[in-house]
Amino acid sequence: MKDSTKKEVYSWIKTIVVAALIALICRHFLFTPVTVYGKSMEPTFQENNRVVVSKTSEIGRFDIIVFKAPDRDEQYIKRVIGMPGDRVEMQDDVLYVNGNPYEESYIKGKDEAGVNRITGNFTLDELTGTTIVPEGYFFVLGDNRLKSKDSRDFGFISADAVVGKVKFRFFPFEKMGMPK
């Protein structure tokens, strides 16, 4: 092989290795792709949607996060409803956080049987034995409340269990973009 050909091959190998290292570092520390499984986030996300999760974004109320499931060896995707220090309750399908009502436009209007009640009434005290979300934890709910296993079932989510915040849907292509 000629010296110029060897240099060209070496240059390509070096470029590919550096690109692969950058991709691995970004995926491990900055962002990662995640596949949505189940119906708990419908209509926002459907089964097999693919999203990009930012591992460095700050999490706020109503953000969608991916976290390590407390009851299984998998990851869940849910919406943050309660932040540390918040009081959360649901009365007649109206969400109250710290006594303020919030409209949840991302929730389906009716269940499959045409019943209007989407979320059963609850207070944090009834579900968890405490009146506020503890420091370092989140209270999460799925958007499809009738088909979601969430903080109503397994309690608060530790901030340490959070993989990251959903930033972008890249599949299916016709729904590509920022989630709402």
Q: Does residue 78 have an active-site annotation? A: yes
- How far is 147 from 36, CA to CA, in rounded Å? 14
Among residues 51, 49, 52, 77, the alpha carbon closest in space to that of 172 is found at 49
Sorted by sequence, the CB contacts under 8 Å of residue 145 that are 6+ apart come out as 107, 118, 119
Which of 39, 78, 147, 158 is labelled catalytic?
Answer: 78
Active site residue 40: yes
Distance CA(158)–CA(137), nearest Å, equals: 4
Element (H, E) at 25: helix 3-29
Catalytic residue among 2, 40, 55, 105: 40
Q: Please give the positions annotated as active site.
A: 40, 78
